[in-house]
Amino acid sequence: MSYVDEVLAKVKTKNASEPEFLQAVEEVLNSLRPVIDANEELYRKEAVLERITEPDRQFMFRVPWVDDKGQVQVNRGFRVQFNNSIGPYKGGLRLHPSVNLGIIKFLGFEQIFKNSLTSLPIGGGKGGSDFDPKGKSDREVMAFCQSFMTELCKYIGADTDVPAGDIGTGAREIGYMFGQYKKIRSVYEGVLTGKGLSYGGSLVRTEATGYGLLYLTKEMLKCNAKDIAGKTIAVSGAGNVAIYAIQKAQQMGAKPVTCSDSTGWIYDSEGIDVALLKEIKEVKRARLTEYAAARPSAEYHEGKGVWSVKCDVALPCATQNELDLEDAKQLVANGCIAVAEGANMPTTLEATKYLQENGVLFAPGKAANAGGVATSALEMSQNSERLSWSFEEVDSKLESIMVNIFHNLDDAAKRYNVAGDYVAGANIAGFEKVVEAMLAQGVC
């Protein structure tokens, strides 16, 4: 049995109840076969794959807090520190009722390779809780965040592990968590990224994931003799990543016509009105029905359906496994030429295969959405030197990081004779650097 198959079998046995984690490991290990096969003896002896698929450590803890009625509520908190071979653990905190250990592990595992691709010194980690911020008062969110950080602060630090936002964790939550960390530890340090601009945040961090997604998509299209300008774009999600992806796509002369949330989706034949979307989602924290009510050109549909809209480019920006085989078939039938993942693992394995086999350019999340964590690393640099860079400076660094990521994965795919397979290219390029560091540091 090949080394990859042997490790895949072991990982499946050990983590049988974690389907998302198994899906992520399967995708990465399968696409690493050319590299592993070329170094099989060394990697087997050094147990490289067993080590990289097992987190350094994982924390699970009780998060008790008091709701507005005086009732005590209990959530479960997680932090998985996956791999710190190339830098302190770095990765977001997801607050969503679906969160469990397997989901945090899949996100932490992806983060190892994503962070490596940024070319910045950050390791892989992820955390979160099954707490649902939706419908909670600001006081309830604060109570949860303070309780969550009361435990989490034991395991993190500016040179140890630096969390950030993800689904359900935005500027409000990061602010409450930062305040609690500072109070308990009495240290003012860059322990979180995505902070407010008045207390150590970086310009462009809010926009970074969506903007970065478009910088990479534009470069991918350009290198395949296509232009982003004039393209019709289908976007899913209506949160941080989706909003700024839509904004940058418009700035590039493309026309995003959809967005979605967990209850329904919008088709706007005139193109999405970003100011209206921001008002509804960032200020009012309301549903997309309000968007349709305010825009005569918009239709609201219940449930799922964004991928049925005819588009040139699809940008899934909501959550994992939101684009399945049926959706992929529909996209191909409608003439879609490119899919770039703003979310983490939004495309199922079957759908990815179908899209690639049908000539659709496919940029995987660990490359395409790396602009968020890359800008987090730039926030860490600014905190270390106690300076703040201008919007233009951070934005131009972000753009060059995304362009470099695309060329690194394109080159890696070509080196291993899988030209155009950007999934393999991203995994190979991300893996090579981490493994070199792991081997140099011995058995640890």
Q: Which residues are catalytically annotated?
A: 126
Shortest Å, Cβ 12 to ligand 2IT = 24
Side chain identity at residue 272, one-letter code: I
- Whether 189 and 183 have beta carbons less than 8 Å apart is answered as no
Backbone angles phi, psi at 153, to 5 degrees: -60, -15
Taking alpha carbons only, the member of 357, 365, 444, 397 closest to residue 203 is 397
Residue from 166, 219, 261, 399 in contact with ligand 2IT (CB under 6 A): 166
Note whether 161 and 88 are within 8 A (CB). Answer: yes
Among 75, 180, 217, 344, binds ligand NDP (CB under 6 A): 344
Q: Which is nearer to ligand NDP, 228 or 318 (CB)?
A: 318
Q: Does 376 bind ligand 2IT (CB under 6 A)?
A: yes
Closest CA to 183 of 157, 155, 150: 150
User: Between 57 and 96, how does the x/- string for binding to ligand NDP read (CB under 6 A)?
Assistant: ---------------------------------------x
Torsion angle in degrees (nearest 10) through CA of 40, 41, 44, 46: -120
What's the rounded Cα separation, in Å, for the pair 111 and 26? 15
Nearer to ligand NDP, 262 or 289 (CB): 262
Q: State which residue, 116 or 308, has the beta carbon closest to ligand 2IT.
A: 116
Q: Which of residues 172-211 bind ligand 2IT (CB under 6 A)?
A: 193
What is the amino acid identity at position 311? C
CB of 362 to ligand NDP, least distance (A): 17
Q: Which is nearer to ligand NDP, 49 or 141 (CB)?
A: 141
End-to-end CA distance of the chain: 26
Q: How many CB atoms lie within 10 A of CB 387?
A: 8
Phi, psi of 125 (to 5 degrees): -155, 170
Q: Which does 84 bind (CB under 5 to 8 A by kind): ligand NDP, ligand 2IT, none?
A: none
Q: Please, which of residues 188-227 interact with ligand NDP by CB under 6 A? A: 209
149 CB neighbour count, 10 Å cutoff: 28
Residue nearest to ligand 2IT (CB): 92
Residues 154-173 that bind ligand NDP (CB under 6 A): 165-168
Coil vs helix vs strand at 55: coil
φ, ψ of residue 390 in degrees (nearest 5)? -70, 165
Query: Which partner, ligand 2IT, ligand NDP, none, binds residue 351 by CB below 5 to 8 Å per kind?
Result: none
Among ligand NDP, ligand 2IT, none, the one that 91 touches (CB under a kind-dependent 5 to 8 A) is: ligand 2IT
From the list 87, 91, 123, 372, which residue makes contact with ligand NDP (rule: CB under 6 A)? Answer: 372
Site string for ligand NDP, 96-135 (x = CB under 6 A): x---------------------------------------
Total Cβ atoms within 10 A of residue 210: 28
247 binds ligand NDP (CB under 6 A): no
Stretch that binds ligand 2IT, among 84-92, 127-135, 264-272, 416-424 (CB under 6 A): 84-92
Cβ-proximal residue to ligand NDP, closest one: 239
Three-class SS state of 210: helix
Distance CA 151, CA 59 (A): 10
What residues have CB less than 8 Å from 353, skipping those under 6 apart?
none
Amino acid at 416: Y
Q: Which residues bind ligand 2IT (CB under 6 A)?
A: 90-92, 114, 164, 166, 193, 344, 372-373, 376
Q: Which residues bind ligand NDP (CB under 6 A)?
A: 96, 165-168, 209, 237-242, 261-263, 317-319, 342-344, 369, 372
